[in-house]
Amino acid sequence: MRTSRNYFSSIKKGILAVIVLSGSSVFAQAPQPPVVQTVSFRSDTINIVNHGAKGDGHFLNTTAINKAIEQSSLQGGGVVLVPSGLWLTGPIILKSNVNLHLKRDAILFFTDDFDQYKLIAANWEGQPAWRNQSPISGTDLTNIAITGSGVIDGNGDAWRMVKKSKLTDSQWKNLVNSGGVVDKSNQIWYPSEKSLAGSKDKKAGVMTAGTSSSDYEHIKDFLRPNLLVLTNCKKVLLEGVTIQNSPAWNLHPLLCEDLTLRRLLVRNPWYGQNGDGVDIESCKNVLIEDCTFDVGDDGICIKSGRDKSGRERGKPTENVLIRNNVVYHAHGGFVIGSEMSGGAKNIWVQDCSFIGTDIGLRFKTKRGRGGTVENIFIENINMIDIPGEAILFDMYYEAVDPVPMAGERREKVKAEKIPVTEETPQFKNFHIKNVFVNGAEKGIFFRGLPEMNIQDITIEKVTIQAKKGIDIIEASNIKLKDITIFSKETTPVVHIENAQNIVFENLKYQDDATLLFDLYGENSKNIQVIKTDVNKAKTISKIASGLSKSVLKIKK
């Protein structure tokens, strides 16, 4: 692992930081940091076969597997072994001090009989909600693990709705002929009438006073579970296994502490709505390393609750190290938000590759969320074939796919300044270094709020080949140093709108660019360009009427 002591030691002394230890590796900054504690188990092993399990893909093993786990925990813990076989099962409930271990040729395959999954009080996208019981879950546990090299398959196709636009004509016809129902527009397929009914409720399943699970039975099939949900657990290890085909998010640790994800393969079909890889929500002391993600929504995502419920919970995700991971298809490679109302801080992302992710580094929020995201340190990131932005900060997030489909039109955001309240989100103090991108729609994009700019961002030593260059909108105190942006479209290379205190140092760009900078917005001021050959551009700048020419300062 490459360390970054010189780089990170330059960060302000007042920033709270953390050291996370894993073996002999250290990614450090600050005295007396927390450590990600590891699990430890007794060697005692219980084979699920001893409780009557049958690996024939037909026998339902729910009772046998849960009995094995319960017995192991009651005896002080140990290993529960899932041997070779195809193990059909309903929901599995983990217990403290138990390591559920899957052999290489073992498949845990979850039943498509929805009656096996009870409607329970849970959490959906950062809010308390009624959902179907997760295939694997654990609450208030200590010292738990899922290890091995087998496969955990959530049978998600039985649950998920599918958009026609994401399939070929042949795939769509086969899906419709398989059963289920199609909406009136003939654009979305649903696995059942209950699922379709749920789609018509904008807040389906969200808990309201005086309701119970029985009030949601008519839309039960729509309330898809996340595959693996761990709530308020301490000392957790997920290692080696393949986790795939979830009804919704694959992995959802919530309010957990001392969490390690290592050498996982996490998969969902690219058309799988809400098919995130991992969503770390309101967790503390987390290590994610050597994992591979190929999913239908965000790959590695940081969250902390949604709107008022997230702010009232008041638990940020903090002290996180993410390193040596690969993300293939996803809506974002590394993502924070948009449900980040409890905040996020002290997060390091290092030595990761994003291959074909819709967006590379994706930071998203919106008015109403509140919460502060700060002290984020990212370096050594490689990307290829990014359909959207390589680096994106967006405070106008809407719940739509980040890359428009062919023919899709999206209206331009209307900027309006409103008072700052507890519902106003903040992005600040990000440090991004050593990012290399071959192929993106746009290089770097900032879009803050008029009342709350994106602020205090440093990006340095970045090389990007993209169709479009850099947009900086409603941002302040931004430093871009040693940036090389080779964009096909150069009218302009850099667009600036209502931004202040922006510094470009050693900016390199396409030879004979048509226009290097255009500047708009009455609030734009103090744009500095240092150590940059601006004369390679046919036109250096276009400054909107009403702005002083002095807004742009070019220095040798």
Q: Is 337 helix (H, G, I), strand (E, B) or coil?
A: coil
> Structure tokens of 347?
């997060």
Q: Which residues contact 305 (CB under 8 A, 6 or more apart)?
A: 126, 127, 281, 282, 311, 313, 315, 339, 340, 341, 342
User: CA nearest 337: which of 292, 380, 368?
Assistant: 368
> Structure tokens of 541?
């700048």
What is the C-alpha separation between 321 and 377, in angstroms, rounded? 10
Q: Could you give the count of Cα atoms lying within 13 Å of 506 in the half-sphere of its Cβ?
A: 8
Q: Omega before 338 cis (within 30°)?
A: yes
Q: Could you give the count of Cα atoms lying within 13 Å of 93 in the half-sphere of its Cβ?
A: 11
Q: Is 186 helix (H, G, I), strand (E, B) or coil?
A: coil
What is the C-alpha separation between 122 and 513, in angstroms, rounded? 54
Rg (CA), the chain: 25
Q: Is 204 helix (H, G, I), strand (E, B) or coil?
A: coil
> Structure tokens of 114?
């929805």
Q: Which residues contact 32 (CB under 8 A, 6 or more apart)?
A: none
Burial class (CB in 10 A: 0-12, 13-18, 19+), 149: middle
> Structure tokens of 390?
């390589």
What is the C-alpha separation between 334 and 425, in angstroms, rounded? 19
> Structure tokens of 375?
């002290």
Contact in structure between 86 and 151 (CB atoms under 8 Å): no
User: CA nearest 333: which of 317, 346, 351?
Assistant: 351
User: CA nearest 496: which of 446, 440, 443, 461?
Assistant: 446
Active site residue 279: no
> Structure tokens of 137?
């879950």
Strands 119-124 and 127-132, sheet pairing: antiparallel
Could you count the other beta carbons within 10 Å of the beta carbon of residue 546? 9
What is the C-alpha separation between 252 and 222, in angstroms, rounded? 19
Q: Note the Cα 400 to chain centre separation in Å.
A: 14
Q: What are phi and psi of 126, to 5 degrees?
A: 85, 5
User: CA nearest 436: which of 377, 470, 391, 489?
Assistant: 391
Choice among 331, 358, 471, 495 that is catalytic = 331
Contact in structure between 524 and 547 (CB atoms under 8 Å): yes
Choice among 297, 298, 358, 471 that is catalytic = 297
Strands 468-473 and 426-447, sheet pairing: parallel
Active site residue 58: no
User: CA nearest 465: which of 436, 498, 494?
Assistant: 436
Question: What amino acid positions are annotated as catalytic residues?
Answer: 297, 331
